[in-house]
Amino acid sequence: MKNPRSFEHTIAIAAPPAAVFHAFFDPSALATWWQAARSVTTPVALGVYAVEWRTSEWADDRLGALGGVFHGTVIDVREGREFTVAECWWLPPTGDPIGPMSLHVVCAPDGDGCALTVRQRGHEPSARWDRYYELIARGWHSSLAALKRLAEHPGA
């Protein structure tokens, strides 16, 4: 059984690791693949990592409306290959924040492309946290598929 208290997924992308890495820091790319309304992301140690989404029209029974802001501090960067964001919090449009958690992204060379692994971890024993991971897993899968399309077909 997968751990409902974290998210981890690896996807093969036919693009250079550096191109995939930079898609996590480029505001235009984030708007495209992650549907970010705004973002401030700095790929340096102690850099800010903040992404904002518009408030959803749909509201979850446990979490309320989705959207809001995800933010943390970049603590480790291996340019073009890997980064970690710590002390991450999700600030929903309404309700209490969820956090702290971490986000770790690895863009490993894989043949002529990249094996992208995304890990998000952090948890408190509550139905709200469990529901959070249930929903973000769906969102990550959809967003990573969009990132794959963007990286494999830039400008399409």
97-140 per-position pLDDT tens digit: 999 999 999 999 999 999 999 999 998 889 999 999 999 999 99
Question: Model-level pTM?
Answer: 0.94
- pLDDT of amino acid 1: 38
Residue 133: what are its φ and ψ, rounded to 5°?
-65, -35
Q: Which CATH code of 3.30.530.20, 3.40.50.1820, 3.40.50.261, 3.40.630.40 fits the domain covering 6-152?
A: 3.30.530.20
Can you tell me the mean pLDDT for 65-80? 97
Positive or negative CA dihedral for 95, 96, 97, 99?
A: negative
